[in-house]
Structure 1
Amino acid sequence: MSKVVLITGGSSGIGKAIGEYLSSKGYKVYGTSRNPDRIKEKFNFPIVALDVTKPESIDKAISEIVALEGHIDVLVNNAGIGITGPVEETPTDEIRNAFETNFYGPIHVMKSVLPYMRKQGSGKIINITSIAGYMGLPYRGIYSATKAALEITTEAFRMETRQFGIEMTNIAPGDFATNIVAGRYHAPVLANSPYKDAYGRTLAMMNEHVDAGENPVKMAKAVCKIIETTNPKIHYKVGAPLQKFSIVLKRILPDKMYERMLLNHYKLK
């Protein structure tokens, strides 16, 4: 019997790549989108309606999949949004929206799927976080915070749920060539802002990094490997060697030395 995999945010980017790869490996995949009716391209797996900011939408989608398949074996919490800008100039509503999507959303999805996994005595939950969640990055502080919150919560959550035969892990990607920039909230570069020059340069650099990012299939293969691993690790990182090494440096360097390294990288004073 094929394992049933639910991927939130499965209609584009990393989520789509994971869905296509797992489908090719014989998994029964369901992707999600807030508005599947607006999707014009064809997929080799079904896309169901699910908005991670609306618990009733989550419950409805998961109950429908269970009614069709009888079980959900793997949840890949992938849905998320980007957000950039000086913290001082980022609207509070946008900060809340980022947390609703990147943190509260995955928690709601896990809460909804756990009773089914607990009943079947097994299940695997893979939370897609970010290497940015391991450090406070200038002009990406809110995004870093949302992903860091999910990383830490997963550490606790996995200890609480292991008694039920449920395995939970994080996988943190670096920069991948996806359409995240198009859907990301950018605080505007204001003409009279004291952050104008520094933020403008940093924003251009961030966009370049995404455009030059790695193929999302690399993430798909990593997720597949985790699914097929018994007792997976707590944290996985997938990205360019320098991006992964930056986490090691954060751990071993004095705080101010690491901060200086980031300031030099982003050409900030």
Structure 2
Amino acid sequence: MTKIALVTGTSTGIGFATSLHLARHGYRVFAGMRNLAKADPLREAAASLPLDIVEMDVTVQASTDAAFDIARQAGPIDVLVNNAGVGAATPLELTPEEEHRAVFETNYFGAIRCIQAVLPEMRERGAGTIVNVTSMEGLMAMSNQIPYSASKWALECAGEALAHEVYRFGVRVVNIEPGVIMTDIFKNSASATRYDRESPYQPIMRRNGKMFSAGFKVGAQPDIVAETILEAIETPDYKLRWPVGDDALGMYRGRQAIADEDWVSMGDNLSDADYNGRYLQYFGIQL
């Protein structure tokens, strides 16, 4: 019997790639996206695949319910991929509260809304997989991106606790933690990104940018995340966390290996040579 997957945030990037990858590997995919005006590229790429595009804004209960109702017409949902997300890059002092809340509404509460939609049926059937696409920033708190990082930490926490709650029911929960991936999240978060050369936070902003620049040079594509998601769903060897990319793995392992105070002290007035040297030593990333 064909398994059914619902993927959120599919107009571009990771959601786009994951929808296609699952459809190519035997899943009937319902690809949710907030703005159907952006649906044509996915519709064209999936022309011969078992993939349906559904309107879905994860921050709106009625929209979410309608999308799940459409998917359930094909049968019970076997896989939920919580991918919809928004970014932001601004020091906390300069981040409006409403912007902070908006990040959580999509990245955390949107995912929780979707989980609660599928969990009763998965529990009753004794089967199903919930995939949370978080971030390497869900494993390591990142300055200059506190709302984004905090929302991903929250989803990481929810995924870990939920995995424990539903383990005995046969429901699998996995957290996928991509590093820097070449997606439109950076372009889409431009309005919530504030770089000011005159700001007292300018060194923090610049260092955060250098971390992303290092990732851009590697040029990791969304396909590697899609491949990891399929592996996490289908492997017989369950694993909760799945860092994706050398940068994500390096930061995950490196942060575990150093003291909290060593990481915090990197916010000091360090020379570029000192800061870059520590980053390479701790995380294996050349800035």
- C-alpha displacement of 1:152: 0.9
Alpha-carbon RMSD = 2.3
Q: Which residue number in structure 2 is paired with residue 76 of structure 1?
A: 81
Q: Secondary structure at the match of 1:53?
A: coil
For 2:7 and 2:121, locate their aligned partners in 1 and report how far apart those are by CA, in whole Å.
16
For 1:13 and 1:232, locate their aligned partners in 2 and report how far apart those are by CA, in whole Å.
26
Instruction: Give the conservation status (yes or no) of the 8 Å contact 2:9–2:33.
Output: yes
Instruction: Give the conservation status (yes or no) of the 8 Å contact 1:66–1:72.
Output: yes
- C-alpha displacement of 1:199: 4.8
Q: Which residue number in structure 1 is paired with residue 14 of structure 2?
A: 14
2:263 pairs with 258, 262, 269, which one?
258
Segments of 5+ residues of structure 2 without an aligned counterpart are: 269-274, 280-287
2:68 pairs with 57, 62, 65, which one?
62
CA gap of 1:147–1:91, structure 2 versus 1, over 3 A, is: same
Kindly provide the CA deviation profile for residues 154-187 of structure 1, in whole angstroms up to 9, marking residues without a partner as x: 1111121223221111111101111111111434
- The more displaced of 213-222 and 243-252 is 243-252
Pairing 1:46–2:52 present: yes
For 2:22 and 2:221, locate their aligned partners in 1 and report how far apart those are by CA, in whole Å.
16
Segments of 5+ residues of structure 1 without an aligned counterpart are: none
* % identical aligned pairs: 35
Pairing 1:165–2:184 present: no
Pairing 1:104–2:109 present: yes
- C-alpha displacement of 1:97: 0.3
Partner amino acid, structure 2, of 1:98? V
- The more displaced of 103-112 and 47-56 is 47-56
Instruction: Give the conservation status (yes or no) of the 8 Å contact 2:92–2:146.
Output: yes
Q: Which residue number in structure 1 is paired with residue 272 of structure 2?
A: none
Q: Which residue number in structure 2 is paired with residue 220 of structure 1?
A: 226
- C-alpha displacement of 1:116: 2.4
Within-5 A mapping of 1:1-269: 1-41=1-41, 42-44=44-46, 45-67=51-73, 69-184=74-189, 185-190=191-196, 193-195=199-201, 197-202=202-207, 204-209=209-214, 211-212=216-217, 213-230=219-236, 232-240=238-246, 242-260=247-265, 264-265=275-276
- The more displaced of 217-226 and 37-46 is 37-46
Instruction: Give the conservation status (yes or no) of the 8 Å contact 2:177–2:242.
Output: yes
CA gap of 1:209–1:102, structure 2 versus 1, over 3 A, is: farther
Instruction: Give the conservation status (yes or no) of the 8 Å contact 1:77–1:128.
Output: yes
For 1:110 and 1:163, locate their aligned partners in 2 and report how far apart those are by CA, in whole Å.
17
Q: Compute the TM-score of the two structures, normalised by the length of structure 2.
A: 0.85
